[in-house]
């Protein structure tokens, strides 16, 4: 329960715009979960996503990408379809915003492929929509 409460606190710090504090809080939480439960525990997924968002807001794009890549590895190992979907989306957005359209396309297409493999209508609809939005942004 303590990890869940701490995870929520990190999220709330981020939502309050306290990105530096949220990052410090989430880094400590990441360390404690790794030490207690191991480097591949499923609890790390949300913490890594939150940290990636902290890094993104602090314009630490390389660190954000590193966190998301690690999250994708853990989510794939744990077969956490929601986390795979979210991580591929965030990696696509991050790649697009950094100007790497080939990587963005790959992530958005992988997200759609994953959604179709899961046969999850919500995932499919969201993945199709984000792919269309990305394509529209390329044309403007």
Chain-centroid distance of CA 52 in Å reads 6
- Per-residue pLDDT tens digits for 62-104: 999 999 999 999 999 999 999 999 999 999 999 999 999 999 9
Q: Say what the pLDDT of residue 1 is.
A: 52
| Residue 39: DSSP 8-state | T
Looking at residue 139, what is its pLDDT? Answer: 84
The span from the first CA to the last CA of the chain, in angstroms, equals 47
pLDDT at 10 over 60: yes
**Whether 65 contacts 75, CB under 8 Å:** no
Judged by DSSP in three states, 58 sits in coil
pTM: 0.90
């Amino acid at each position: 329960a303590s990890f869940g409460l701490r995870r929520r606190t990190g999220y709330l710090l981020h939502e309050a715009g306290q990105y530096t504090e949220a990052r410090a809080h989430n880094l400590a939480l990441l360390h404690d979960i790794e030490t207690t439960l191991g480097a591949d525990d499923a609890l790390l997924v949300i913490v890594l996503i939150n940290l990636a968002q902290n890094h993104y807001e602090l314009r630490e794009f390389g660190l954000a990408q590193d966190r998301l890549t690690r999250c994708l590895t853990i989510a794939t190992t744990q077969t956490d379809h929601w986390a795979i979907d979210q991580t591929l989306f965030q990696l696509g957005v991050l790649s697009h915003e950094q100007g790497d359209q080939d990587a963005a396309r790959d992530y958005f297409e992988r997200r759609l492929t994953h959604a179709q493999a899961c046969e999850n209508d919500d995932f499919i609809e969201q993945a199709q929509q984000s792919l269309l939005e990305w394509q529209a942004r390329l044309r403007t």
